Structure formats: C-alpha cells, structure tokens
Chains A and B, each alone.
Chain A
C-alpha cells in the first residue's frame, strides 16, 4: 500500500547543480502535482499534470521542469539550482474525480548552498 513515493528524502546541492526529484504513485491517479512548502507561505503549486503526456505550469514554475511519460511517474527537474529553491517539496496525486482528496508523498527537503 505504497501510495505516493518520493525520493530522495534529503538532498544538498551546490548552486548551479542540477537534479531530479522522483515521484511515483501506485493508485492509477490521473492527476499529479508538485508543491513547495516554505515557512509562512503554505503550499505553492509548481507544476501539475492531468494525465500522461500533459503538463502545465502552476503558481511558481520558474527554474523547474516536469514531464509525464507514464501515469505512475512525475519527476521534477531543477535545471540550475539556486539558494531560493531551498525548500521542502511535496508530490501529490488525485483521481480527478469530483470531491476527492489529494494524496501526498513524504516530501523532499532540499538545501541549495
């Protein structure tokens, strides 16, 4: 009963490095999304996908790329890390049916130095 699985849990990057945060879900959910959580700002939507092959920008997309080649996976790529991207990142999925909730992964704590 895995749900939404994120890796890694912790990561430290140097400014300018790139990396990919992994997210996988086993609930056959159509909708997947990435949020970042910063103190006093709640969760802000970075990118989302409504199905394989379909992605769109959220509230704070700059500096991040996504792709959705399968229903299960939705990786988030940081192309050139900046200290402003230090945050906790959450992946979420939902079925897309009306009135249903989102399910969250355990989060990735990223520090950019």
Chain B
C-alpha cells in the first residue's frame, strides 16, 4: 500500500560505476520529482516530470539522466559515479504542477554511498 516507493533502499557502489534508482507511485499523480539530500540534510530539487515530460532540470550534471516511462514511474540513472554523489535521493509525486502549490508526497529515500 506504499504510496511512493523507491528501489533500492540502499546502494553501495564503487566510483566510476553506473547505477539506477527506481521510483513508482500509486497515487494517480501526474507529476514526479527527484530531490537530493546531502550529508548536512540539505534538500534540493534535481528534476521534475509532468506527464512524462521534463519540466525542471536544476543544473544537475549530465551524468544524471531521469527517465519517465509513464506517469507512475520516474527512474534516475547515474553514470560514472563520483564520491560527491553520495547522498540520499528522494522521489516525490504530486497531482498537477502549476497554479496551486500542489502537495508533494515523498518516497522513503535511497541512500547512495559511493566508495
């Protein structure tokens, strides 16, 4: 019954590897997001997709590539992982994107550690 789910929950990998994080929501929302939370707990938007279309891309290195196969899924692929990519990545979803400050509901987070 989880509303927004992410897999995996933990990811430990070596520098230079490529990895993916998956996100799925069963809330019927049409907008999904990726946020990064660094070691100091600071949360920052990375991407947003509305109806499978990219609408926010916040100066994230192009090693990060989001993919939205449908409205319920937003995956994050990271190429050539670097130490600085170690963080917790949160997926979120909302219904709608403009006009009314739609509430975003967050997944449990994926803790990525790059060694």
Q: Do A and B bind each other?
A: no
Q: A residues engaging B (CB < 8 A)?
A: none
Q: B residues engaging A (CB < 8 A)?
A: none
